[in-house]
Amino acid sequence: MSKVRKKRLLLLDRSQLTENMLKLLLADESVAVGALHELSELEAYARKYPIDLLVINSNLLAGSLQKLRQTLATLPSLQALPKFFLCREDEIELAQEISNFAGSLKTTRPFHPEAFKCLLSGALL
């Protein structure tokens, strides 16, 4: 009998709190949650593990949006992935730039955990 691979969500975030929250929120789902705390680790991770969804907190993007764009361009498998960006409401310019990423959705922080879980679950179907 073949084993079904869990869907893999990768969180890019400087905050351990968000990582812990996502792991608790998705504990009952068949989702593996990985986390990176530095954008520079993304390329190596993506070459090693399959990724089904990227969740990117704007706190990791401070001045690194171009670096994210370059990393995604070097890995076509990441370009097509759905990407959820977590942004503050006042990050209007960043929100406009994020809309240029293929497959991108933005949600503002703070967010309601159950509503966010529904968004993530829908993207992982």
Residue 90 domain flag: yes
Residue 1 domain flag: no
Query: In sequence order, which residues have a C-beta less than 8 Å from that of residue 77 and are 6 or more positions away?
Result: 46, 51
Residue 2 domain flag: no
The total number of structural domains that make up the chain: 1
Other beta carbons less than 10 A from residue 120's beta carbon:
22
Going by pLDDT thresholds of 50, 70 and 90, the confidence category of residue 52 is very high
Domain range for 36 is 7-124
Q: By percentage, how much of the chain surpasses pLDDT 90?
A: 18
- Judge whether residue 28 has pLDDT over 80: no
Lookup: tokens for 52 = 């089904």
pLDDT of residue 65: 82
The pLDDT of 50-56, averaged and rounded, is 92
- Judge whether residue 116 has pLDDT over 80: yes
Residue 65 domain flag: yes
- Judge whether residue 1 has pLDDT over 70: no
Q: Are 31 and 7 in contact (CB under 8 A)?
A: yes
pTM: 0.87
Going by pLDDT thresholds of 50, 70 and 90, the confidence category of residue 2 is low
Q: What is the pLDDT of residues 60-92, one digit of tens each?
A: 887 778 888 888 888 888 888 899 998 888 887
CATH code of 83's domain: 3.40.50.2300
Q: What are the Cα distances from residue 5, in Å, to 8, 30, 67?
A: 9, 9, 30
d(CA 27, CA 44): 26
Peptide bond into 110 cis (omega under 30): yes
Going by pLDDT thresholds of 50, 70 and 90, the confidence category of residue 114 is confident
Going by pLDDT thresholds of 50, 70 and 90, the confidence category of residue 95 is confident
